[in-house]
Amino acid sequence: MSKILVTGGTGYIGSHTVVELHNAGYTPVIIDNLSNSSLKILDQIEKIIGVKPEFHQFDLCEETLVTNFVKNNPDITGIIHFAASKAVGESVEKPLKYYRNNFFSLINILQAYNDKKINFVFSSSCTVYGEPDQLPVTESAPVKKATSPYGNTKQIAEEILEESANAYGNYNVIALRYFNPVGAHESALIGELPLGVPQNLLPFITQTAIGKREKLTVFGGDYDTPDGSCIRDYIHVVDLAKAHVAAIKLLEKGNPNGNYDVFNVGTGNGYSVLEAITAFENESGRKLNYTIGPRRGGDIIKVWGDVTKSTQQLGWTAQLGIDQMMSSAWAWEKYLQEQPIA
């Protein structure tokens, strides 16, 4: 079947999507600069699917390298674009890093494919909704002023993609606005692999549980929520990966909504940070050492998605619940304890 380029394909969501593309009969090709991942992930993917995917290591912000890759790989028919800096808190501290990485890489790819017919799935985010007026939030909800540079890059990237699809006619684009990916592959061979101090909740939970971190700080305990902590729509990373495959299939078939479209990808359920901690404790049998700290800049108070459109038009529905998210993440952390990947 078709060759699909996966940028950031050794990263957390990218590696799981590579596996699901292979399982669906596609040939994934990876580009990654390994700035937030490890080359060893290729070996882990091979253990799962039986073949090592084609891999190219370079920075998509380097225009010449992107142009040369496209010239040398004319048989690519689809792109799933993950490569980007992705931590909300870090983006507040280092906005220029986020604007450079997240815009240059996208624009370079679009320019390189400007004369080719290409199906393009973009890794967007529910952060484009800001603090939504109504919950669950639908795709028709207004895009609000971003609360972080990371969120702003997703908003502007969506605008770049929509305007490019309308202007040039050769891009068929779906932006997947997903909520909070967690969990790991059922094999425990791939999962979230933060370099340095984790920026996301669940790896900090698992690292605290296994003793890598002394304690977990919950950012804010005085929000307008039932228990005072932020509420998120957590989605299992394997379900999320399968949504990207569904998006590619819809683009290949022809999206009746036109050459640019957006879909929410979540479970439609909201869990607070403290509820997520409790779910993890129940699955792992470990009590977590955590404290309530000050609020973190850029955080949304509560958000979860309406996924009706994804169910009806993508033919996709999340299958894995909060318990499986927590148990798989814990299995992955225990695997890393025995066989470190760096």
Q: What is the pTM of this model?
A: 0.96
Q: Is 44 helix (H, G, I), strand (E, B) or coil?
A: helix
Given the residues 26, 98, 129, 150, select the one marked as catalytic: 150
What is the rounded distance in angstroms from the CA atom of residue 253 to the CA atom of residue 247? 10
Residue 236 confidence (pLDDT): 98
Q: Which two tokens stand for residue 175?
A: 């932006």
- Concerning whether 150 is annotated as a catalytic residue, the answer is yes
pLDDT digits (tens, 9 = 90+) for 223-240: 999 999 999 999 999 999
Q: Could you tell me if 153 and 99 are in contact, meaning their C-beta atoms sit under 8 angstroms apart?
A: yes
DSSP letters along 98-133, please?
HHHHHHHHHHHHHHHTTTS-EEEEEEEEGGGG-S-S
pLDDT at 87: 82
Low-confidence ranges of the chain (pLDDT < 70): 342
**Number of Cα atoms under 13 Å in the Cβ half of residue 95:** 10
List of residues 6+ apart from 167 with CB closer than 8 A:
none
Cα dihedral angle (96, 100, 101, 102), rounded to 10 degrees?
100
Determine the pLDDT at residue 342: 64
Single-letter residue type at 165:
A
